[in-house]
Amino acid sequence: MLDLILQTCVNALYASSYTALMAVGLVLIFGVMGIINFAHGELLMVGAYVVFFLYATFGWPFPLAVAGSIVIVALIGVLMERALFKPMRGNPLGGLIMSVGALFILQVATVDIAGLGLAKNIPPAYDGSVALFGIETLTLPRQRLIVMVAATAGLVLLWLFLTRTKLGWALRACAQDPEAAALQGISLDRTALIAMVIGAAFAGGAGALLAPIVQVTPYMGHAYVVTAFIVIIVGGVGSLEGAVVASVIFTFFDTFVTTFIDGSTAAILGLLLMLVVLVVKPTGLFGSAEKA
């Protein structure tokens, strides 16, 4: 039983890593720009497709393909911010509708470029599994280990950026109070662009890292963005710390229920968890009243 519990913890930590990457990007975009980016799952999908082309089709080394993926999706983020979200600044509903439009555009563009039909299978870049802590029965596939390490590194770098750099402080100031930040001379345009680039890059990176582990289709983003939305609601909309903590809580909850009861029940109870949090603490675990 102990083996099973430990393995479940490892499975949950893995799921936490990419979920946090997605959720933090969403929160950053919402916090700074005030936009709920429904196309965030599609940014993940594009990241996975870029890896499909660069790594699986053209034979680039996997790390290089992931880097390429992050750059391309970040550029898409720039395009989305400048063309869709900037004109809608101060109009959250308009931004939301724009993001839904972007969702469809990205899906259709992917279908046009990559084709319809069967899912893309991408061979793992790193074969086999590693035994953790010297316990032979406690294993993690190398490809998943890469996801965990890269996601953790990304989150730590983001934390350092937000807490140790002027630009990071500016981002946090805009997220807390855009008007006060503007009065201090912080450019909202610039911080919005940076937030979008970071958010998109995180989503693209998550998709790129996951590509060899999941089935890549133009519609794959949906499941991930739904989970990310649940997480940011539980964590408190607008709270980066909340997004990370809620990612861990939610994925541990989901993974344990899946392992010890079943997957269908986990899906239902996951939503129930969100509802309970909303009833007990409507602002989420780390959210403030102003952000709710």
Dihedral sign, Cα of residue 211, residue 214, residue 216, residue 220:
negative
Position 261 contacts other proteins (CB under 8 A)? yes
| Residue 214 C-beta: closest distance to other proteins, Å | 6
Q: Should residue 110 be labelled a site residue for other proteins when binding is judged by CB under 8 A? A: no
What is the gyration radius of the CA atoms in the chain, in angstroms?
Answer: 19
Q: Taking the CB of residue 224, how many other CB atoms lie within 10 A of it?
A: 25
Tell which one of 217, 239, 247, 283 touches other proteins (CB under 8 A): 217
Tell me whether residue 150 or residue 192 sits nearer to other proteins (CB atom). 150
* In contact, 29 and 92? CB cutoff 8 Å: no
Residue 131, H or E segment = strand 129-132
Task: Single out the residue of 102, 104, 84 nearest to residue 94, CA to CA.
Answer: 84
Q: Does 104 bind other proteins (CB under 8 A)?
A: no
Nearer to other proteins, 25 or 218 (CB): 218
14 in Cβ contact with 147 (< 8 Å) = yes
The torsion angles phi and psi of 286, rounded to 5 degrees, stand at: -120, 5
Binding mask 141-170 for other proteins (x = CB under 8 A): x--x--------------------------
57 lies in the binding site for other proteins (CB under 8 A): no
CB of 16 or CB of 191, closer to other proteins: 16
Does residue 118 touch other proteins according to CB under 8 A? Answer: yes
Residues in Cβ contact with 220 at an 8 Å cutoff, skipping those fewer than 6 apart: 41, 44, 45, 48, 214
Q: Which of 64, 71, 79, 223 binds other proteins (CB under 8 A)?
A: 223
Residues that bind other proteins (CB under 8 A): 3-4, 7-8, 11-12, 14-15, 111, 116-119, 121, 123-124, 129, 139, 141, 144, 213-215, 217-220, 222-224, 226, 255, 258-267
